[in-house]
Each structure stands twice: as structure tokens, then as C-alpha cells.
Amino acid sequence: MVTLKSKAEIKEMRKAGQIVAAFHRGVADLIRPGLTTLDIEAFAVRFLKENGARAYTMGYNGYPFATCASVNDVIAHGFPNRKPLKEGDIVKIDIVAEKDGWIGDSAWCYAVGKVSEEARRLMQVTKECLYRGIEKAVVGNRIGDVMHAVQSHAEQSGYSVVRDLLGHGVGRELHEEPNYMHIGTPGKGFRLKEGMVFTIEPMLNAGKPFMTVDADGWTARTADGSLSAQYEHTIALTADGPMILTAQ
């Protein structure tokens, strides 16, 4: 069941979103060669606590951390670790905060030092896919309109869209209905209604769209070892258009 949120509830959800956004601004300042993803995890734990928010993913389906840290060919759900980030890496940091019972969810891709032209372009196109999707996230459109905008830009740019991990409704829980891939056909799929809150979180691979999961049961990688990028926002659909709850 899709739960529609009132204006007052969306205002509450914005608080969770803004904590997530502020965390990402902090990460952008911290990121540099030599930093470890466990350093970022420690910052996240402290930052959420200071802001009266709960680290929602800690213990969620057994996930052991407040952040996901996914380097280079890791698509998503990587565990933070003590390996120093090195110049040229790209790292996706994903965080979910719960504030006053409401969830905010956003992942962002960071360049570590100077990265290759190839990595820079993959990041750029992935971010453009996110915002092209958001533009189409208006009441009356269908999810296929949103995801067609994402998919066509990705594929015209020579990249593939990961199918195995889905976007999702967000509210008092992280994963609410609906769920959908980041591919689509205009005019198809569920209709977008005022009060829907959901993520747009395209994952683009430089190579094929296929994914494998490590023995830890979480770390999702590109099957062909190619680079992967992701940007994710939590969006609320208002009569005035899409509101980015996790806008930095």
C-alpha cells in the first residue's frame, strides 16, 4: 500500500532530509586521499547523534553500519573499512537518518582527489540522470516518464542502468511501496500523486548492468569490474512540483 503524506508530514520529513543533506556537506569537506570509509562512518554516527537522529540502517536486516561505502566497482551496500581512500577513487556514501519517526535517504558519489576523465564523466552523467528524473516527477506523470528520462540519458551516454536494486517509497519506514527499477517507458507504470514520497537513485555502470554480491551478503559489485556511480535523493510530490527533501 502506498501511503500519501500530508503537507505537515512532508514538513516533518524534511527535517530528516536536511540532516542527511548536512551530513553529505560534511563528507564533501572531509573527503581526501588517506581518509578511510570507517572515518566517514564515525563522522556519521557522531553527526546523527548530535542531531538527535537515529542511524536507521544499523541493524536493518542485519546491516551493521550507519553508512554504506561503495568504492569504484562496488555498486552499493559496501561496508565501511580501514583501507585508505586513494587518489582517483570514486566512493558512494549512502546514509539513512530517522528523525522524529520519519526517514531521509540519500547517497552521493565523491571523487577522491583528481579522478580519471572517464570516472568524472560517469559521475556527471549519473548526477544528470538523477535531476532529469526529478524534473519528470510531477503529479499526473507516471513512473515510466521519470525512469525513461533516467534510462535514455544513461544509455545515450554509453552507460548501463543497474536493474537489481530498486527505488522505493519512503516515510516512517525506509522501504515502502512502490518499488521500481530505474528504467521505463513513457506513459507506463503507476501514476504519480500528490503526497507520494520516494527515492530516485540511479546506479550507472560504465560496462554491463550485471551485479554480483560478495560473500558478506551485502557488497554489490559490477559483474564485469567496471566503475559504478550513484546519486540518490528523497523526493516529495507536491502540487507545486517535486520537493527534494535531501537537497544539499
Identify the CA nearest to 80 among candidates 105, 61, 102, 57. 57
Q: Minimum CB separation from ligand MF3 for residue 195, in Å? A: 20
User: How many angstroms separate the most distant Cα atoms in the chain?
Assistant: 47
Whether 108 and 231 have beta carbons less than 8 Å apart is answered as: yes
Question: Which CB, 116 or 179, lies closer to ligand MF3?
Answer: 179
Q: Minimum CB separation from ligand MF3 for residue 126, in Å? A: 15
Q: Which does 96 bind (CB under 5 to 8 A by kind): ligand MF3, Co ion, none?
A: ligand MF3
Q: Which does 89 bind (CB under 5 to 8 A by kind): ligand MF3, Co ion, none?
A: none
Q: Minimum CB separation from ligand MF3 for residue 114, in Å? A: 28
Q: Which does 97 bind (CB under 5 to 8 A by kind): Co ion, ligand MF3, none?
A: none
Question: Which CB, 89 or 105, lies closer to ligand MF3?
Answer: 105
Q: Which residues make up the interface to ligand MF3 (CB under 6 A)?
A: 57, 60-61, 63, 68, 77, 94, 96, 105, 107, 174, 199, 201
CA angle 23, 78, 234 (to 5 degrees): 45
Distance of CA 1 to CAs 176, 189, 215, Å?
Answer: 8, 15, 33
Whether 223 and 197 have beta carbons less than 8 Å apart is answered as: no
Q: Minimum CB separation from Co ion for residue 94, in Å? A: 7
Question: Which CB, 103 or 112, lies closer to ligand MF3?
Answer: 103
3-state SS of 121-141 is HHHHHHHHHHHHHHHHCCCCC
Residue 145 has phi, psi (to 5 degrees) of -65, -40
Q: Is 105 in the site for Co ion (CB under 5 A)?
A: yes
Question: Which CB, 72 or 199, lies closer to ligand MF3?
Answer: 199
DSSP 84: B
- Cis before 64? omega within 30: no
Question: Which CB, 57 or 126, lies closer to ligand MF3?
Answer: 57
Q: Minimum CB separation from ligand MF3 for residue 182, in Å? A: 12
Q: Minimum CB separation from ligand MF3 for residue 68, in Å? A: 5
Identify the CA nearest to 222 among candidates 155, 158, 159. 159
**Binding to Co ion, residues 163-202 (CB under 5 A):** 199
Nearest residue (beta carbon) to ligand MF3: 57
Question: Which CB, 24 or 77, lies closer to ligand MF3?
Answer: 77
Distance of CA 77 to CAs 67, 141, 161, 203, 216, Å?
Answer: 8, 30, 17, 12, 10
**Contact residues for Co ion (CB under 5 A)?**
105, 199
